[in-house]
Structures are given as C-alpha cells and as structure tokens.
Structure 1
Amino acid sequence: MTERVTLITGASAGIGVELARIFADNAHRVALVARRGDRLESLAAEIRAKGGPEPIVIACDLGKPDAAEQIIAALAAAGVEVEYLVNNAGYGLFGRAMELDRESQLGIIDVNNRALTDLTLRFADSIARLRGGILNVASIAGFLPGPGMAVYYASKAYVLSFSEAMHQELGPKGVRVTALCPGPVQTEFQNRAGFEPGFDSAVLNVTPAEVARQAYQGLMNNKRIVLPGLGVKIVPFLLRFFPRGFIAAAVSGFQLRRR
C-alpha cells in the first residue's frame, strides 16, 4: 500500500511551520515545501526528534512554472500519495499598485493563486480516493477590497471563493475543504510586504500556533471557513452593514496611513 502524506507549502516560516508541527503531532507524515531548504531541514529535524513520521523535504519556488512537477517527482521518489493538501504559501506587497513593481505583483498571483489552484487540481483525485482534505490559507483580507495592497487582497478573495466552491464540489466525494482566514499574524509576512504591524495587528492578532490549531480542528471537522480569533469573526458580520464603496475608502485610508 502506498504511504499517505500531508503536503504543506510555505512550511519554512510563520503559520506554515505551525501547521507542519500540528499535523506531525497528529501522526501525519508531512511533505514540507518552501524555497528555503535549510529551514525545512531544521523543521524536519525537529519533527524527527519528537518522534513524528519521517518528513519529506522539497525545496522549490512555487512562483516557478515547473514547481508542481518538482513536487510530484519528489513525492513519487518517496513512494507517497497526497491525502491532505495544505496550500499555505503566499505573500503580499504594500503600496499603490501603479507604484509597485509589476513583475513582483504578478508573482503574488503566481504563488497565491496559480500554484494553489494547480496543486489542488493535480492532487484532487488522490485526496478523494483517500478521503482526505484540503486546507487553503486565505485571509480576512479576502472579504475586503484592498487599496494599498490591491493585488494581495484580490488574491485572497480568489482563494476564499475557490475554496468555498471546492468545499461544495468535493464534499460529496468525502473530501474536506476549508478556507483559513486569519487576521494579521506576527510573522515574516509583514517584513516581506513592506509595512510595520499597526493597530489592526494588536486587535486582530492571534499567535501562529493558535491559528494552526484552529485550522487543523476546523479542517478535521469539515468547516467551510475558519476565522481564528473573536476580532476576526466579527469582521464579516460587520461588513453586511456598510456599502462596498465605504469599505474600500475606509481600507484605503487605513492602509495608506502606514506609509
């Protein structure tokens, strides 16, 4: 029988590290994917030392067109099939869209959307056969227009919409599909995006470990959306009471005050 594995992208930092830990703690064999192989090796050593199943390390850049082929080849060499897929890799850039580098913004779409969709479609058959699940890391930003981080917010709206559709389509096949929508979390994301955490981070922040814990429980319970933390749970509810244009203007004013 082919061994089952949980594939986790963006596993070298932040929420991705914590997701790898919690899946390993629950006896999943994990395949760790990220650009920084040294960090993946360190995480694999930690999991190994705690007695978890032997991790598979796959160092590759999901922004590259051949990333999925690299992952598939590595999994085939290890003789494993994907039972759970965790699409965590992603990044954003802060600033006005017309002022930011175009290729870097297109790279957000490559990682946050194209790679996530590609891996979901490639592994859907094995996940359905093994009656596993898919956890897609979206964001509370997916509920909002995002002037000041326009491409990032739009990319997370795509992740949220796609995940909800897959939840409906794959549910009858016994597949759990969950969209994780955290608020600002203190990770390396902020540094790469180019802004300092502000009031929103203080109010909405939940630790990466707690986000991962709630995400794992939500996926196992087949929740459509996981909103970790009370502050984040309130946001979609409040949005019902304000026109979309008002929300866009409010987000714009808030974001651009970070400059």
Structure 2
Amino acid sequence: MRLAAIQMVSTPDVDRNLEQAATLVARAAAGGAELVALPEYFCLMGRQDGDKLAVAEAPGHGPIQQALSDWARRHGIWLVGGTLPLAREADPLHATNSCLVFGPEGRQASRYDKIHLFRYDDGERRYDESQTLCPGRQPAAFEARARDGTAHRVGLSVCYDLRFPELFRALMQPPCDLLVVPAAFTRPTGEAHWELLLRARAVENQCYVLAPAQGGRHENGRSTWGHSLLVDPWGRVLDCRPDGEGLVTGTLDPAVLRQVRQQLPALEHRVLGPGLPATAAGD
C-alpha cells in the first residue's frame, strides 16, 4: 500500500488551509498514494487557543468534514484527516481534538479523540490544551483495504500521545500494520524527542509509523518542528521532510512486516500488559 504524509504550515484562515490541503492531497493521490494523512490542526493554527472553539463543528456536519469526505471520494483514497475541533453540545467551552478517517467512497470510517492533552512551560513558551479541549477516552483503529485487496489494520494517535507507549500497546491487540501520528510538535520538544519517539514506537510495535506534521513558522508566531516521517518496522526512516509544505511518501510492504515479526517475534514474547497473566511476588 502506497502511503503519503502531508506536511503543512497552517494559518489562522480555515479557507486558505483547506485550499492548500486540497492541493497537497491531490498531489499525493496523483503520485499513487492509497492512504494519505494530514497533520494535526491542518485546518487552523489560530492566534489564540479560543479560536478553535469558534470553528468547532458538530460531529457529522460542517465544511471541514465535508471537504475531507469530498477529497477521499474524489481521489479514491483512505484519508486520515489530521485533526479538527469537534463541538461538545454539553460543554460549549471545550471541544475535542479529533482525527476523522474517510474511506475511498467518502464515508467516515473512524474517529479518534486525542486522549493525552499537552501542557508545557519552559519559561518562554506556555501551552495547556486542557483550557479549551477535553480528552478522549478510547483508542481507535480501522481496517484499510489496499487496491490489491490486502487489508491493513491502522491505529490512530495524535501528537502528545506519542509519549505514552501504553496507548500503542493497546492498539496492538490485535497488531496494527501501521500507526498514524498527526502532530504539531513544538521546536524544542521536536528537536529533542520527535524522531526518537517515532522510531521507538515503530520498533517496539514492529509496524510502520506515518507521522504528518506541521513544519515551519506560522502566522500566529508559533514555530513547529516539522520533520514528517515514514518509519519501517525495523526503525529505519524511509522518508523525511524537515521544513515547509510538502509530502513524505513510501510503501507499506507486508513482506517486511512478516520478516521482522518472524525473525524477532517480540510481540509474541510480551509478558506484562492488559490481558496478560500476572504472577504474585514469591510464586
């Protein structure tokens, strides 16, 4: 299955961002991609946290969701729609940071609400997503069928989730072939940890990791790390885009998955974790 991650430098203008995303999705599809993933907040990088509440859409309705559906159907692709804010009827002061997936017929195939909310303060930069977001509660995965008929299990996560390996372990029951990590990492945290963590998630779960990111200096003054990546199950970086808008592409090869898991069956060797037996001390 051919994959593409889209890197953007999104603005505070939803319409401009949708126009740019449409162009990049079309370019990825023209290059043969069967699954395309957009970055976190592809639709809006606001000037202040509350801006996302102003554009939050009701689940199943709104121009951002319609655009994602239209692009998936027009190009006949699986589209992992980065993230967008979805409104909560019971709590108008908070939204969910949601990743929606649309299949080749334009129908929504999955939804994942970001579980782990980012908070950071280095004395110069301060972020606290809990001021405007409420966390999700459940992992989410879906089955994407390639054009050759091969079915692939795809697990979803968002940005800060990358630091919590227990989420990815939960997604590996049963094992995923691909983990997708839309993100908008800050430059300090990205430079220190982004590639390290992505490669670790690929190695420990013996699967491909596709990470579309925001990458550059935004109109709101924020700088994001970029370095969108595709990593294989052995931890090799297959493609990377350091900065600016563009694509990361590559192939999910089932033969590589089988080879890695057969040569080093680490997933079968797990002893600890949910659903695995525990032994009392001294037994």
TM bucket, shorter chain: 0.3 to 0.5
Q: Tell me the TM-score normalised to structure 2 length.
A: 0.36
TM-score, normalising length: structure 1 = 0.38
If each structure's strand is expressed as a fraction of its own residues, which one has the higher value? Answer: 2
